[in-house]
Each structure stands twice: as structure tokens, then as C-alpha cells.
A and B are shown apart, each in its own frame.
Chain A
Amino acid sequence: MQFRVLSSFLPPTAFIFMPHVSDVLSSQDIGKFGNLQILAKQVVEGFCSGLHRSPHKGFSVEFKEHRAYVPGDDIRTIDWKLFGKTDRLYIREYEEETNLRCTILLDSSGSMSYCGSRSNGVSKHDYAVRTAASLAYLMLHQQDSVGLVTFDKIVRKYIPPRARPKHLKVIVSELQKQKPEFETEIGKVFHEMVSKIQRRGLLIVISDLFGDVEQLMKSLAQFRHANHEVIVFQIWDPDELDFPFRQWTQFASLESATNKHLVDPAQLRKAYLEKLAQFREQLAKGCNRQRISLVPMTSDQPYADSLAAYLALRRKSK
């Protein structure tokens, strides 16, 4: 993967926090959704603190900046050590930690590694990783805490949500390690995660959702039951949507080496598309019922565009 590193275009803060972010996000990408904010749809704990600066400055352990003392400021906030050194009164300000806990659940199963001819060499998984990184960057930039779960048939890695800017590096490095190769059991994994993610928050699922729809819906329903807000980014490759194959093709499963079928694609295209439509309809209905936002994304579109479009939609619905 070739990513352009254009650090000069990055905002100063990004430069501070993202020694590795540029590996997965281009500066243009970051610039596009840097001004956007995720607005939680439901009222969750710490929603306002996610939106505004905390009024309880000084309670936080995270130092932000010094400023000159003005009359009226709480004298407890004066940095006496600095006064001793400089003989001037400075107020020590701290960032308040927010309560928006976002967990990104990234599908690293074999099926995500499909890369069609029209997606410019970006596999679904690459696309998902970039999307995840973008989101992580965005939210950490807003001082929200972001966690990451990677999974296939089991949970491969669980990074609990943190709001520290350095956390992005952890997430990004984890994202880079992912190699999709195993089968998916998304329902089982989600079921497992319900108990782990106890605090309410935002769950962002980035997956192709291939698997048993019913089981998936049950698991998502459990998340919803635990008052999580769930956003599902469903990643498609264009090939999976229009099945453009002509000549005889052997379809080998990305998840199981023994599963192969030699077919005339032209012959089964129609039936495939019908089945696909049925599958998507099931998903859409299920998500709608659970008030889950299902955002289909195709890997040939610029992922940042999709993400920006979604965030704009969120803001509008707010």
C-alpha cells in the first residue's frame, strides 16, 4: 500500500499525535473530516462533555495549557511552581476527559481480504482499516475515548477505549498488524463482546457482515439492549454487488481453502443478485428494527467521502 505522507498539510495537533497515522490516512482524508464532529444520537453519559469543554477545569489529570491569571479565577488553579520560577501568575488548565466511549469493531476475517479489479488495489479490509483509523483520529481529536476490537471467529485484539491522544498510535499500530485470513463468526464474537463492553457508548462495526443474519441481529440487539448506540459500516467490493464475471471461474473461498466451485458465472449471475438483494434487505430490515444505522460502503469509492457523507447525515438527523 502506498500512502502519501504530506505532513505539511496536517494540522499542528495531528502532527503532534500522529507519527503513524499518515501511514493509513492521507492528509487530504484527514482534512476532509477534521472539522466534523460525531454527534451521538442518543443521550449517553458524557454526551455534553463530548460536545463542549468541561466546566470542571482542574479536575482533570490531563494538562492542557497555561494562561495568565485574571482576577476572578480560582486561586487554587494558580501554578505556584511556575510562579516561583517566573514570578508571574499563571493559571494551569486541564482537559476534561469525556464520557463518549467509542469502540470500533473491525472485522478481520478472510472474506474482508477480497480485492476486486475496480477498487484500485484496496481490499475491503484495507478500506475498513482506513475507515477505522479515520474514525479513531476524528474522535480522539475531539477528546473522545476510542477503543478497538479486531475479530474474525474469535476476538483477536481488544484495546479498551481511551481518550489520550497517544492512544491513536496504539490503535493505528494494531490496525496495521491485521491480516485477514480466518473464517467469521460475527454473531458469536459480538455475543462475547457484550459482556466486555459494559459501559454504554458508541459501537462502530466495520465489516462485510457475511454470515448468519439472524445470529448477527441477535447479537446487535444485545448491544442495543445494553444501551449502546451502534453504527454499522458494511463494506462491499463493487464485484460483490454486480457480479461482473463472464468466463468460467473457480470461486475459492477466502476463508476455507477446500471450498471451491467451478461455475459459469453468467449462468448464476441472476440468481446471485437475487440472493444478494435478499441478504441486504434482511440486514436493512433487521438494523432498522433495532434502530441501528447501516451504512453500506463500496471500496471503489473514496472511503473518506463515504465517512464524511455519513457524518453529515448524522449531523443533519440531529
Chain B
Amino acid sequence: MTFLNFALAFGAAAFVIPLVIHILNRSRFRTVEWGAMHLLESVIKVNHKRFQLDQLLLLLVRCAIPVLLALCLARPVLTGSRLLEGDAPVSMVMLLDTSYSMDASDSTGSRFKSAVEAACQIIAATTNGSEVAVILTGGKPTPLFDQPVFDSEAVIRRLRQVQSGYGASNMPEALNEAMAMLSGMSNARRELIVLSDFQAADWGDSGLITANAIRQQVDAMSIKPELTLYQIGSQVQGNVSVDSLEIPQRALGVDQQLAVRANIHNHGTSEVRNARVILRIDGAEASVSQISLAARGTTQTLFPCTFKTSGSHIIEVQVVVDDPLKTDNTFAAAVTVWESIKVVLVDGDPSSQPLKGETDFLSIALTPYTFGRVKLSDLVETQTIEAKEINEELLKTARVIVLANVSKLDDETLELMTNFVNEGGALFVTSGNRIDLTWYRERMYAQGTGLLPLPYGATVGQSEEVSNPSSEGKSSRIVAQHFSHPAMEFFNEAANGDLSKAEIRRWSQMKQTDELPIVESGTTATDPEETQPAEPQQHVVVLARLETGDPLLVERRFGDGVVMQMATACDADWSDLPLRPFYVPLMQQIVTTMASQIAPPRNIQTGEPVVALFSNDSQDGQTHAAALSVTTPDGAQQSITPESQGTLQLARFDETQRPGVYSMVLPSTETIYFVAATSRNESDLSMLSKDKLLSLSKDMAATIISTPAQYLEQDRLRRHGREIWKFVLMGLLALMFLELVLQQRFSRVIT
């Protein structure tokens, strides 16, 4: 306990006044020669002890009155058991929720504005010497300053510039970071304040586990921080969000139709009728549709669209409704439209006769319009060469190389090829009667370190003699299944062709090896625990199998590129695939998917780096590092310096915490777009109920506040304690009354 007017507490010494009066009274008595002593004596004899007790009691009460009066004037303050100085500086870490749900607005304005205002008020009230750190929890927890700052005004200035709209908060991680930061701070008084809307989605079930973990962490700390939870905003009803856009992954050419599916979710409890949904391409309205959404329902809207120019484009779907949170009413995606995809077909069994060459069918399948001499343009541009013609220049322009029944490559070419794939190229290897099994196994596979996903084994199936089909073995067919690989998804619809109708007469067996485990395509999604590998390059994905169980089509990531391997030949020698109608889409799908996979992804999650690979355009072949400009979603421009990676330049931008469209201007003045998306978990705006928040705070041993003033009051109480002069005054009055009563009771003097 401390006193605001400590000097007045000395007034408590006035307790001696009644004591002195009592003693004086006793000493300065008058003497009366008394006659009726026999009456007096009997009274004194009986009541002697009671009189003494009464006198003592009265004396105590009278002594207590000046003591209480002095206490009252000295303004006592209860400070609890701690003896910290009231103005001691504080080490404060503030977690400010910058997730997009904080953009939600109610009658009092946006949650985020309230949060920033509250944070500024709290920080402004810190005493001199206090150090403050603010961690923005939206997306990846990010400190406002790298180090805790002693200048609270600087923090406030910076805070006022902070914008919300980041991805969903990762509170456990943010709290961990806050704890780590707190433990490194210097002041003895530690504060941890969480300013958030405490959405049920963030804190619901996992909140309890998090709370316990936090409490354990707090308990383990040598100086325990005071935890304060500040729930911003009030419950708002209803919100509609565009949860995601589904875009086919295969490469897209100019004028090719793209089907964009938008998933729209109604989080509210009332139905939404006739909401307009707008598709914008590069900011221009391209298509509009109208939807109705049931309460808590979801719906899909399909937008077919085409692109007139090649290059990077942005498509954006917006649902036009009047809801509290506008941020999640739009969802964007980056789409790359290819002018053409150059595919180099390396023919291992060339022929001058039509359709006898190994790659003739494949070439036709990839460029049907060119072959048919129609005006429509093909996305794929093929060039058929022989193995010996492979050189560095060719590989610079090629996006996909097909090794069709190539017996073997010389070492130099193999190295070129390895570099090509390693730097992001795509390689498609098909089997055939010419291939050198030993070379493929030893050089191309090289015990898992080479390009090949699996080594080719023995050739099985029917004899090559067509006239004697049943001499050796039987042909096989492709297993009819649901394909989950993007290249094969097309065939999940029966109308697009039935792969199982094709007869595979001969094929090279591809045996699983110890080096690279085989994973069925699509199993990653269904059973992630068992098949989730550490590195995608360390396993082989089977796209399709034969009825015999042998893999027909396998894929493996290699470096930044991808390698696909087929067990049979790509011409009609070993199968009747080229004679089937679905051969064209199958090959197109395989090649375009491979071509689109090799580019670094342009639709990323927030926090993932934006990476662009582009060729070095300098004529002299020397690499030069010209700065590139990146425009972030909030309009700020930042420059980055690309790094040279082999023959290519790599530009990387890591500051992608904010969801939205990032654009990068390449040296060739081409602008490429990236879209950082975030989970729509926070679109459900329901907040933790009071009870749940209370139990959460109990688990965390935290205090809940609802206004900055409340925090300041609580802080004042913790620092200075609670003023109790009113209670003392009440006690004083009670004592005075008691004194009066006692005096009346003991004396009963009637004048």
C-alpha cells in the first residue's frame, strides 16, 4: 500500500491526542469526600472489570478515529503484494490483428480503425523508458519494427500507416513470436496485449490448446507478462465471400476458352437473392451473372472467357452485395496466356515415309490445325529433329523436349538436357524398340540421380510381328480410373474419350526402385500422412497404369523442371493409341500441362515468394542485374535485383504478406502478374462469444478489456493500486458513530 499524500499519513500520530486526554483526565481528577460510599463501592466492585473493558474499547475507538482520518487524507492506494514503482517503464508487446476480417465495419466504423486507435492510446500512455513492440498478426506474424522501440511516438506514427486486409491470423505463431520477443526485452514489467476481433474461426477449437500452451509458456518465463485480451468490434450479421477460383492448370493459348469456376459462400444466416457476380479480365468487366445463395450456402458460378493477347493476365470475380466485409467479395487469379509452346520432338526412329517416323503421329496430334491447314492457330509449335541435332541454342527456345524412341544420347547432349530440365524445362520420354536399355538405366536413371523417373526394364507384351499376335504375350489396356493428375483430368469425363479402349500391345516394364518410391497420382490428397514426401523430387507419380499393373505414365520433378516417362511408344508400332480419337487431347494435355508446370507459380498463398524466371536478353551474353519494379497490392512500388541462374535471370520478391495482385515489370517491358491469395477462414465474421472469450482468458490467465480506458484504468490499478480513501472515510464515519453509541451506552449522561 502506498499513499498519494504521504506527508499527511503522519497525521496518524494524532492518535495520541485521545490517549493524552484520557491520561490527563485520569491524572487531573477532582476529589470528592463522599458519604454514600456503601452504594458506590458495591457498584464498583461488581462492575470493575467491565468498566475497564469499556474504557479500553472507547479509548481504542477514539484513538482509531484520528488514525483513520489521517489515512483518509493521505489517500491510501492498494498496490497488491508487488512493490514495483508506479512509474516503472514497461516492456510491451502488442499483437495487432491485421487480418482482412478486421476490415469489417459496423455502426462504429471499421474494426481495424478502432484497433489502431486503441493501440495508439495504450502506447501513448506508456511511461518514459518503456519499450514497445507491435506484431502484425495478419498472414505471417510480422513485427512493425525489427527491434523493440523506446520511442512510443515513432511507433504510433508507424501504426497509423498500417493497413489491414492481410491473410488469416496465425495466432499461435504470433503469440510464440511475442513470447520470444518479450523474453528478450529489458524492463521488469512485461505486458502482452492482443488486439483482435477474436473470430471463432481463429480461436474456436484450437484456441483452447493454444491457450494452454501459452499459459505453460508464460509460467515458464522468469518474468511473467501480464496478458490482456482486447476484443475489437461487435458481432455483425451476414457476409458473402468469393472463396476461390478454379482454373484449369494446363497451358492456355490465345483465343482458347478458359472456364473459370468461382466458389461463392454465404456465411450469413439469411438468404442472399439476385446478387450480381462480375468477372473482370485485367480490370475490364468481361462477364456478369446473377446468383442466389441460401443461408450458410455455397454456390459455383462458371465463367467462360478467352484472351486476345498472350502474356500475363488477371481475372477477378466480384460478388456485389452489401455486407459488412468488402475485402472478401473479390477473388483474383493470375492467368498466363501463351503465344505458343515450342516443343522439340527428338525422333529416334525417323522415316521418310508418311506416318512411319516415330514422332509423326505426335507432331500431328500437337499441331492439328497446322497439319489440317486451317486458319486456327495451334498453341504448340513443334520441331522435329534427330538426337544429334540437339544443341544449346535449341534448348534455349524450347519449353518441352520429347525423346521418342531415342536409343541414347551422347554425354554432352545428356548434360545439356539435364541442365535444361534442371532450370525448368520439361522432358517427355517415350519407349520403343530402339532404346538402349543399359544406357537408359545407367545414365538416364543413374540410380535415381538421373533424369529418368524409372529405369526401363524388359519389353513385354505381344511380339513385334503383327502377323503373329499370340506368339508371346498378350496386349494390355489402360486401367479405367478417376484421374487426379491435371494432365489426365480431362479424361474423367466420358465424352472426352475412353482411354481404356486403346490397346497397348508392347511396353517396357518400369520397375519400382528403392531410390525413388512410387506414389499414385491423387493419393497425396486422399492419404497425406503416408505419402507426403519430404521433397517432391524424391518420388515418382504414376499417372496411369496398365491392366497388368505396370505403370504406363509416370512423372517426376527434377530441379525446377519436370520429366514424364511413358512405357510404350508414341507411334502406332506398340499400340493403337495414335489411331484413337483421344490421342490428340491426351498428348496436348500432357505437353501443355508439362509446359505450364515448369513456370514458377503465379497464384501463390500469402507469404510465399513471387518468383519470375526470364531469359537474359543482353546481346553480348553477359548477365547484368538491372533492378526490376514490383508493385504491391497497396500500390507501393519496390525494386528488386534479379539473380543470374544459369542462362536465366531469377527475380524473387518475398514481401507477399498482403493478399492481392503483385505486378512485376521485366526488362523486356512485359508485365507479369502474381496473385497472393489467403484462406477465406476469416470470412465467417462470427466472433467468440463472451463466455468463450472468458474461458479463453481464464485458460490464458489473461484479462479481458473492451475499451482502452479500461486498460489504462487497469494499468493504473496495477501500477498505483486502488484508491481506498472512500472506504477509509466510511470506516471513519462508522467509528465516529460507534464512539457516540459506546459513549452513550457506557455513560448515559442526561443533562
Q: Is the CB of A264 within 8 A of B55?
A: yes
List residues of chain B with CB within 8 A of the CB of A240.
35-36
Among candidates B29, B35, B55, B748, residue contacting A114 with C-beta atoms closer than 8 Å: B35
List residues of chain B with CB within 8 A of the CB of A237.
35
Q: Is the CB of B25 within 8 A of A250?
A: no
Q: Would you give the 0/1 interface string for B350-370, flagging 1 where the beta carbon is closer than 8 Å to chain A?
A: 000000000000000000000
Q: With A and B bound together, what is the CA distance between A58 and B395 in angstroms?
A: 187
List residues of chain B with CB within 8 A of the CB of A255.
35, 37
- Given contact pairs A237-B35, A255-B37, enumerate 13 new A-B contacts (beta carbons under 8 Å): A247-B29, A247-B30, A248-B28, A249-B30, A251-B34, A254-B34, A255-B35, A256-B37, A268-B43, A269-B747, A275-B42, A276-B39, A279-B39
Q: Is the CB of A266 within 8 A of B747?
A: yes
Residue A36, interface by CB 8 Å: no
List residues of chain A with CB within 8 A of the CB of B26.
248, 262
Within 8 A of B (CB), among A268-287: 268-272, 275-276, 279
Q: Is the CB of A268 within 8 A of B51?
A: yes
Residue A35, interface by CB 8 Å: no
List residues of chain B with CB within 8 A of the CB of A275.
39, 42-43
Residue A261, interface by CB 8 Å: yes
Query: Would you give 11 A-B contacts (Cβ < 8 Å), ordered by A?
Result: A114-B35, A211-B38, A248-B29, A250-B29, A250-B31, A251-B34, A261-B41, A267-B51, A268-B43, A269-B748, A275-B42
Residue B46, interface by CB 8 Å: yes
**Stretch with Cβ within 8 A of B (4 or more), from A105-113, A130-138, A194-202:** A105-113
List residues of chain A with CB within 8 A of the CB of B39.
210, 272, 275-276, 279
Residue A245, interface by CB 8 Å: yes
- Residue ID in chain A nearest B34 by CB atoms: A251
List residues of chain B with CB within 8 A of the CB of A247.
25, 28-30
Residue A246, interface by CB 8 Å: yes
Q: Would you give the 0/1 interface string for B30-63, flagging 1 where the beta carbon is closer than 8 Å to chain A?
A: 1111111111111110110001001100000000
Q: Would you give the 0/1 interface string for B3-43, flagging 1 where the beta carbon is closer than 8 Å to chain A?
A: 00000000000000000000001101111111111111111
Q: Given A262-B26, A263-B44, A267-B51, is A251 in contact with B37 using a C-beta cutoff of 8 Å? A: yes
List residues of chain A with CB within 8 A of the CB of B38.
210-211
Within 8 A of B (CB), among A38-70: none
Residue A253, interface by CB 8 Å: yes
- Residue ID in chain B nearest A110 by CB atoms: B35
List residues of chain A with CB within 8 A of the CB of B371.
none
Q: Which 7 A-B pairs have CB atoms at the shortest separation, nearest pair first?
A: A111-B35, A266-B747, A114-B35, A248-B29, A251-B34, A271-B43, A253-B37
Residue B534, interface by CB 8 Å: no
- Residue ID in chain A nearest B28 by CB atoms: A248
- How close is B619's CB to chain A, nearest CB, in angstroms? 119
Among candidates B31, B54, B747, residue contacting A249 with C-beta atoms closer than 8 Å: B31
Interface centre among B39, B47, B54, B748 (most CB of A within 10 A): B39
Interface centre among B26, B28, B749 (most CB of A within 10 A): B749
Among candidates A211, A251, A267, residue contacting B747 with C-beta atoms closer than 8 Å: A267
- How close is B735's CB to chain A, nearest CB, in angstroms? 20
List residues of chain B with CB within 8 A of the CB of A252.
31-34
Residue A259, interface by CB 8 Å: yes
Residue B737, interface by CB 8 Å: no
List residues of chain A with CB within 8 A of the CB of B35.
110-114, 124, 208, 210, 237, 240, 254-255
- How close is A69's CB to chain B, nearest CB, in angstroms? 61
Q: With A and B bound together, what is the CA distance between A247 and B22 in angstroms?
A: 11
- Residue ID in chain A nearest B746 by CB atoms: A267
Residues of A within 8 A of B (CB): 110-114, 124, 208, 210-211, 237, 240, 245-256, 259, 261-264, 266-272, 275-276, 279
Interface centre among B33, B54, B747, B748 (most CB of A within 10 A): B33
Q: Is the CB of A251 within 8 A of B749?
A: no
Among candidates A248, A254, A269, residue contacting B25 with C-beta atoms closer than 8 Å: A248
- How close is A107's CB to chain B, nearest CB, in angstroms? 11
- How close is A194's CB to chain B, nearest CB, in angstroms? 24
List residues of chain A with CB within 8 A of the CB of B51.
263-264, 267-268
Q: Given A249-B29, A254-B35, A263-B51, is A269 in contact with B40 using a C-beta cutoff of 8 Å? A: no
Q: Given A210-B36, A253-B34, A269-B748, is A261 in contact with B44 using a C-beta cutoff of 8 Å? A: yes
Q: Given A264-B51, A275-B39, A279-B39, is A250 in contact with B30 using a C-beta cutoff of 8 Å? A: yes
Q: Is the CB of B33 within 8 A of A272?
A: no
Q: With A and B bound together, what is the CA distance between A245 and B749 in angstroms?
A: 10
Q: Is the CB of B29 within 8 A of A262?
A: yes
Q: With A and B bound together, what is the CA distance between A172 and B32 in angstroms?
A: 30
- Residue ID in chain A nearest B43 by CB atoms: A271
- How close is A243's CB to chain B, nearest CB, in angstroms? 9
List residues of chain B with CB within 8 A of the CB of A250.
29-32
Among candidates A251, A266, A270, residue contacting B40 with C-beta atoms closer than 8 Å: A251
List residues of chain B with CB within 8 A of the CB of A272.
39-40, 43
Q: With A and B bound together, what is the CA distance between A38 and B31 in angstroms?
A: 42
Q: Is the CB of B40 within 8 A of A261?
A: yes
Q: With A and B bound together, what is the CA distance between A113 and B37 in angstroms?
A: 13
Interface centre among B26, B40, B44, B46 (most CB of A within 10 A): B40
List residues of chain B with CB within 8 A of the CB of A253.
33-34, 37
List residues of chain A with CB within 8 A of the CB of B29.
247-250, 262
Q: Is the CB of A254 within 8 A of B33?
A: yes
Q: With A and B bound together, what is the CA distance between A269 and B44 in angstroms?
A: 10
Q: With A and B bound together, what is the CA distance between A146 and B746 in angstroms?
A: 50
Q: With A and B bound together, what is the CA distance between A246 and B46 in angstroms?
A: 21
- How close is A208's CB to chain B, nearest CB, in angstroms? 7
List residues of chain A with CB within 8 A of the CB of B40.
251, 261, 268, 272
- How close is B33's CB to chain A, nearest CB, in angstroms? 5
Q: Is the CB of A246 within 8 A of B749?
A: yes
- How close is B496's CB to chain A, nearest CB, in angstroms? 114
List residues of chain B with CB within 8 A of the CB of A110.
35
Q: Is the CB of B748 within 8 A of A249?
A: no
Q: Would you give the 0/1 interface string for B80-110, flagging 1 where the beta carbon is closer than 8 Å to chain A?
A: 0000000000000000000000000000000
List residues of chain B with CB within 8 A of the CB of A263.
44, 51
- How close is B50's CB to chain A, nearest CB, in angstroms? 9
List residues of chain A with CB within 8 A of the CB of B43.
268, 271-272, 275
- How close is B632's CB to chain A, nearest CB, in angstroms? 89
List residues of chain B with CB within 8 A of the CB of A208.
35-36
- How close is B49's CB to chain A, nearest CB, in angstroms? 12
Q: Is the CB of A269 within 8 A of B749?
A: yes
Among candidates A113, A249, A267, residue contacting B55 with C-beta atoms closer than 8 Å: A267
- How close is B540's CB to chain A, nearest CB, in angstroms? 107
List residues of chain A with CB within 8 A of the CB of B41.
259, 261
Q: With A and B bound together, what is the CA distance between A112 and B44 in angstroms?
A: 22
Q: With A and B bound together, what is the CA distance between A250 and B29 in angstroms?
A: 7
- How close is B54's CB to chain A, nearest CB, in angstroms? 7
Q: With A and B bound together, what is the CA distance between A245 and B41 in angstroms?
A: 16
Q: With A and B bound together, what is the CA distance between A110 and B172 in angstroms?
A: 98
List residues of chain B with CB within 8 A of the CB of A269.
747-749
List residues of chain B with CB within 8 A of the CB of A271.
43, 46-47
Q: Is the CB of B54 within 8 A of A267?
A: yes
- Residue ID in chain A nearest B743 by CB atoms: A266
- Residue ID in chain A nearest B26 by CB atoms: A248
Q: With A and B bound together, what is the CA distance between A268 and B52 in angstroms?
A: 11
Q: With A and B bound together, what is the CA distance between A245 and B55 in angstroms?
A: 17
- Residue ID in chain A nearest B36 by CB atoms: A240
List residues of chain A with CB within 8 A of the CB of B748.
266, 269-270
List residues of chain A with CB within 8 A of the CB of B46.
271
- Residue ID in chain A nearest B748 by CB atoms: A270
Q: With A and B bound together, what is the CA distance between A252 and B34 in angstroms?
A: 6
- Residue ID in chain A nearest B25 by CB atoms: A248
- Residue ID in chain B nearest A248 by CB atoms: B29
Q: With A and B bound together, what is the CA distance between A113 and B42 in angstroms?
A: 21
- Residue ID in chain B nearest A241 by CB atoms: B36
Q: With A and B bound together, what is the CA distance between A270 and B38 in angstroms?
A: 16
Q: With A and B bound together, what is the CA distance between A240 and B29 in angstroms?
A: 19
List residues of chain A with CB within 8 A of the CB of B749.
246, 266, 269
List residues of chain B with CB within 8 A of the CB of A264.
25, 51, 55, 747
